[in-house]
């Protein structure tokens, strides 16, 4: 790193802390913004560990990266905390160096967010014992001293074990994760564990882990919907349902039309993503027509929603397309289709 760049970045660490503590000046704010613009033109110095942490309201999301920030959001206005984490990442500070700045933050919320960034970086490289040293350093909320926030650190460990497919350590860690707070985060970690085990051990491994009392069959969805439907893997989904009695039984136990919903949705995504899919239109069309039109699915009923999806897979076939459009009952739904 060039000495003049290093000096600017180190100044920004100080100015960011001052701004987070509401002690900064407009001149310092401009200095931070100008330095960030300079760094955007410099070779990246970091390790690519990521920035921030998985957002509590979007548990399936990923951490952002320097590359993503400068390519997709180069002109976005950022908070002092966001700038500081970006500078941390670019300068490739280690955990101790980051914590030297972190501990100067007065607000418990901003401090804990920054500490979580440090912990997530350690989780990326499997430094679990180091994470456990930082967990007691979480501060209670300024507005609720009874909430020590340490569960956030344990959830980083939980996600690490989920990515490793280490169910033993996953369940040992789970009891420290305060499952009642932001339960979607816990569900996301469980789904990630199931997906990892499925990739490593196939369907038998997935079925076995879903028998655990802390998981359950509802996490079949992590495989069926997330890894098949949403990725347009229609043929493999169809094969999975046909060959696995447990999955087929679960789908029909949840809803007698659930299997049709999954298959049509996967068929739609397969065509949208231009992936290979057997020409099962006629069978799927007939199954969809049998759906009770009173069952809701978002804005429209389930039957009309799936017919919309099927129609969009057949824009190259006028006869099939018009059959789908004619079968749709809702005029509002029909207007979703091109004429």
Average pLDDT of span 61-86: 90
CA-CA distance, 256 to 324, in Å (whole number)? 22
Q: Mean pLDDT of all residues in the chain? A: 93
What's the confidence (pLDDT) of residue 58? 47
Angle at Cα 31 formed by Cα 72 and Cα 104, nearest 5°? 95
> What per-residue confidence (pLDDT) applies to 338?
79
Cα gap 116→148, rounded to integer Å: 13
**pLDDT value at residue 59:** 45
pLDDT at 55: 60
Across the range 174-179, mean pLDDT stands at 95
Going by pLDDT thresholds of 50, 70 and 90, the confidence category of residue 146 is: confident
Does residue 298 carry a pLDDT above 50? yes
Whether 1 shows a pLDDT value over 90: the answer reads no
> Cα–Cα distance between 232 and 276 in angstroms, integer?
9
Sorting pLDDT into bands at 50, 70 and 90, what band is 87? very high
Averaged over 157-167, what is the pLDDT? Answer: 96
* 180 CB-contact burial (10 Å; exposed 0-12 / middle 13-18 / buried 19+): exposed
Structure-model confidence comparison of residues 1 and 268, the more confident one = 268
Does position 297 have pLDDT exceeding 90, yes or no?
Answer: no
Residue 124 burial (CB count, 10 A): 16
d(CA 95, CA 77): 26
Asked whether the beta carbons of 157 and 131 are under 8 A apart, the reply is yes
Checking if the pLDDT of 8 tops 90, the result is yes
Of the candidate ranges 62-71, 94-103, 168-177, 310-319, the one whose mean pLDDT is the lowest = 62-71
pLDDT at residue 339, rounded to an integer: 67
Please tell me the predicted confidence (pLDDT) of residue 61.
Answer: 57
């Amino acid at each position: 790193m060039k000495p003049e760049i290093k000096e600017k970045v180190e100044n920004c660490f100080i100015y960011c802390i001052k701004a987070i503590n509401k002690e900064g000046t407009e001149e310092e704010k401009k200095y931070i913004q100008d330095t960030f613009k300079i760094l955007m033109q410099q070779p990246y110095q970091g390790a690519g560990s990521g920035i921030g942490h998985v957002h509590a309201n979007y548990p399936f999301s990923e951490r952002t990266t320097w590359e993503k920030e400068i390519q997709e959001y180069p002109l976005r206005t950022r908070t002092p905390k966001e700038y500081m984490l970006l500078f941390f990442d670019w300068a490739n500070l280690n955990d101790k160096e980051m914590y030297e700045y972190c501990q100067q933050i007065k607000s418990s919320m901003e401090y804990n967010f920054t500490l979580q960034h440090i912990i997530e970086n350690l989780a990326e490289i499997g430094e679990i014992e180091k994470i456990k040293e930082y967990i007691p350093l979480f501060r209670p909320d300024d507005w609720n001293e009874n909430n020590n926030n340490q569960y956030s650190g344990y959830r980083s460990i939980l996600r690490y074990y989920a990515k490793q497919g280490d169910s033993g350590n996953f369940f040992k860690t789970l009891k420290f994760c305060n499952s009642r707070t932001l339960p979607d985060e816990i569900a996301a970690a469980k789904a990630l564990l199931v997906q990892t085990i499925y990739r490593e051990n196939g369907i038998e491994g997935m079925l076995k882990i879903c028998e655990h009392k802390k998981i359950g069959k509802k996490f079949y969805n992590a495989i069926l919907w997330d890894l098949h439907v949403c990725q347009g893997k229609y043929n493999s989904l169809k094969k999975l349902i046909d060959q696995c009695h447990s999955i087929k039984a679960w789908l029909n136990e949840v809803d007698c039309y659930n299997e049709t919903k999954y298959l049509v949705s996967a068929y739609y995504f397969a065509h949208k993503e231009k992936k290979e899919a057997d020409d099962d239109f006629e069978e799927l069309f007939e199954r969809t027509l049998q759906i009770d039109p009173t069952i809701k699915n978002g804005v429209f009923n389930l039957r009309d929603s799936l017919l919309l999806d099927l129609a969009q897979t057949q824009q190259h076939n006028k006869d099939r397309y018009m059959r789908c459009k004619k079968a749709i009952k809702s005029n509002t739904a029909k207007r979703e289709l091109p004429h």
